[in-house]
Chain A
Amino acid sequence: MRATTADREQSATYTYLICLAAWAIPGAGHLLLGRVQKGLTFLIALTLMFLCGLWLEGRLFPVEIRQPLVALAALADMGIGVAFFIARQMGAGAGRVVALTYEYGNAFLIVAGLMNMLVVLDAFDVAQGRK
C-alpha cells in the first residue's frame, strides 16, 4: 500500500518532534525511538559534560550579534537544549574570566552543545529509517 500525503506529513511531523525532543534533552530522541542504550549514554555523557563546563567556571555566552564570535559560541552553547536556559535562569554560567579553568569550561560547554547537535542529526536519521 502506497503512503498517502497525510502519512508523509505525519511522518515528517513525527520526525521533527523527535528532533526537537533530541535537542531539548540530550538522548531523549533516541529514547523515544527505542534506542535505550544510546539514549541513556548521550543523556548521561552530555549532561555531565555540560555540568563539568559550569563547574570549571565556563561562560554561557549571550547572543550578541555585534560580536559574531560570541554569537557563534552562544549558538553552540544552546545546542545542549533546555539545560542552557535553565542554567542561565539559575545564574550559572556567568563565567569567571580570571579563573584558571575558564577556557577549559568554555570548551566543555561549547563542545557539549555541538555534540548534541550531532546527536539530533543521528536521531533524525533513525527517525527517517536510514539507520
Chain B
Amino acid sequence: MIVFALFVSVVFGTLMRDEPKEQLRFGAQLFAAFVVGGVALGWILYFFPL
C-alpha cells in the first residue's frame, strides 16, 4: 500500500504542480492522505463481519 501510494503521489504531484518544491509538497500531502485514508478505511472495515 505504501509503495503504491508513493508511486501515485509522485506522479500526481508532478502532474498537478510545476515548481519542484510545490510538487514535493503536494505529493507529500497526497501520500499522507493515501496512507492515513487506507489505514482508516482498514479499521472501519475491520468491524464489519467477513
Contact = CB atoms under 8 A, between A and B. Distances in A.
A38 interface: yes
Interface in B1-22: 3-4, 7-8, 10-12, 14-15, 18, 20
Contacts of B3: 52
Interface in A92-109: 104, 107-108
Interface residues on A, range: 10 to 19
Given A46-B7, A52-B7, A112-B7, 7 more contacts: A37-B20, A42-B11, A45-B11, A108-B4, A111-B4, A115-B11, A119-B11
Interface of B: 3-4, 7-8, 10-12, 14-15, 18, 20
Interface of A: 37-38, 41-42, 45-46, 48-49, 52, 104, 107-108, 111-112, 115, 118-119, 122, 131
A115 B4 contact: no
A108 B20 CA distance: 25
Nearest to A111: B8
A119 B12 CA distance: 9
A131 B16 CA distance: 11
